[in-house]
Structure 1
Amino acid sequence: MHLLFIDESGTPPKPTNNDQSYFVIAGLVIPEDRWQGMNDKLSGLKLRLQYRGEVKWRFFAPNNHDPENPMKDWEQDRRNNFRNDIFSIITETKSCKIIACVSESPTAYGLGNVNSQDDLYFKTYKPVTERFQYLLQDITRASGRDTFGMIVADHRGKGDDDSMRHRHERLIRESGQYTSQYKNFIEGLFFAPSHLSVGIQLVDMVAGATWRAQAHNDRTWFDKLRTSFRSSPQGRIDGYGIARFPKRGWQGQILD
């Protein structure tokens, strides 16, 4: 069993926003037999550094001194060392893989079939599910055994969760001619509060680093994760570990 934890970075812009802005949904695939070890490493790291609370990408920003930030009194070097150790938990677990989709809002809204923030969110989510299915198929072929997976998403709110759950079920049910066939998926879409989920906290860091690289051309932390992205046999991640929505008409830089 493989668990795909997903979280987003950025906010899907409204259709009336004509600025070139990006939205990211990232996924971290953790095999079930690696979850406990990653949980223990993150818990141990927090304990050694006396960090109390959940890990969030935004807490590492130099000017973030919010009262709920456990690092509000930390110097930036200390924050960066902690962030580097968190990323090492991911990259040192070789069987963990990262998949993501980046949407470019003006290009997406120009398609004609993306008319709302909810549409844009789901259109960014769909390629992540497809690449999870491809990864499960790859593992099945390599191992000779059927490999299955399930998706755990960050809890956003009852209305948003219900909408995503229904759209996810329709996507899986109608898979076939125009979408991937999700033969390796188990059950539906699950939700977990981030403060109770190690996987959601780790993928929040992945999503933040990916958004930063795409939106601000700052690959400092993205490059530390690059080896963990799903890639082609030649090592390419564009189209394999990172999907672009929409691919046709894309105007911005291409992460690879």
Structure 2
Amino acid sequence: MYLLYIDESGTKDLHRGEKNKEGNSEFFVMGAVLIKAEDLSDIEDKIQNIKSDYLKDPYLELKSTIKAKSLKESKNRNDFLDEVHKTIVESNCYCFGAQVHKPSLQQRGILENKDQIYKICFLHILSSVNSFLKYENINESVTVFIDRVDAANNKKVYVAYKSALESKSIDFIGFDSRHFSPSINFVDSEFTIGVQIADTVAGALWRGVEKNKKTYSRMLIPRFPRDSNQKYVDYSYQICTDWKE
């Protein structure tokens, strides 16, 4: 069995133009990490050891936006983040991503409201994972987890996930929805290191495109599965330009 942890980075609200973009990102990125159930304890132990070494509170939630004040007096924030990303790269897991550039999709009429963002990202993430499983001849179930926010947001996420699973697009030919959990599982990210890792992946990808800070997104590239042409873009890292319908 495989476990798929998903998180996001960037704002969901539609872009309001260059003159009114304060607090509203151009990009929205969904990041995911696929881990074989038997390998979860190993990567969790590694991340927990880093947290214990660097953080005042070893059980503090790992976030890509962690503050320097959360670290022990002699520890450096960049060193901490370096160690976390290095550990992900050296672990037995697979990273996936879906990138939405809101202004261009709005201009083309692809993205009409903020509630569509989750569905378009789920479509791309699930098709990526499905393609990877087929390419690697992996015939195992995948249980999907995402961070719990609030009742209203959770419902939107649930509906978007179910809708993506039922897609009839060409990308889903041969897609066996029985391999994926029929409903998405909401968890508290504070106590779920898999989601914390997904948050780290999403944050690295988002900063790479939104802030042009690519140090960590480039560091994670080896964990993104590649297709038969050894390319990961449009395979495990999807740039959402249209609906998969």
* Range class of TM-score, shorter chain: 0.7 to 0.9
Give the conservation status (yes or no) of the 8 Å contact 2:6–2:33. Answer: yes
Q: CA RMSD in A?
A: 2.3
Aligned residue pairs total 233
SS of the residue corresponding to residue 4 of structure 1 reads strand
Residue pairs, 1:20-39, within 5 angstroms: 21-39=26-44
CA distance in 2, matches of 1:40, 1:159: 34
Corresponding residue for residue 252 of structure 1: none
SS of the residue corresponding to residue 222 of structure 1 reads helix
Q: What residue identity is the alignment partner of 1:99?
A: F
Deviation (angstroms), 1:30: 0.8
Deviation (angstroms), 1:212: 1.0
Asked if 1:42 is matched to 2:47, the reply is yes
Give the conservation status (yes or no) of the 8 Å contact 1:133–1:185. Answer: no
SS of the residue corresponding to residue 207 of structure 1 reads helix
- Normalised by the size of structure 2, how large is the TM-score? 0.86
Residue pairs, 1:67-86, within 5 angstroms: 70-71=70-71, 78-86=76-84
Which one of the candidate residues 122, 138, 146 is aligned to 1:125?
A: 122
Corresponding residue for residue 105 of structure 2: 108
Cα–Cα, structure 1 residues 179 and 161, in superposed 2: closer, same or farther, change >3 Å?
farther
What is the CA deviation profile of residues 100-149 of structure 1, one whole-angstrom value per residue up to 9, with x for unaligned ones? 0110111111233421111123212320111111122223x2x6xx2221
SS of the residue corresponding to residue 82 of structure 1 reads helix
Cα–Cα, structure 1 residues 111 and 120, in superposed 2: closer, same or farther, change >3 Å?
farther
Moved over 6 A (4+): none
Structure 2 gap ranges (5+): none
Q: What residue identity is the alignment partner of 1:56?
A: K
Structure 1 gap ranges (5+): 249-256
Which one of the candidate residues 53, 57, 63 is aligned to 1:56?
A: 63
Corresponding residue for residue 168 of structure 2: 176
- Normalised by the size of structure 1, how large is the TM-score? 0.82
Corresponding residue for residue 147 of structure 2: 154
SS of the residue corresponding to residue 186 of structure 2 reads strand
Which one of the candidate residues 205, 217, 222 is aligned to 1:222?
A: 217
Q: What residue identity is the alignment partner of 2:109?
A: G
Corresponding residue for residue 236 of structure 1: 231
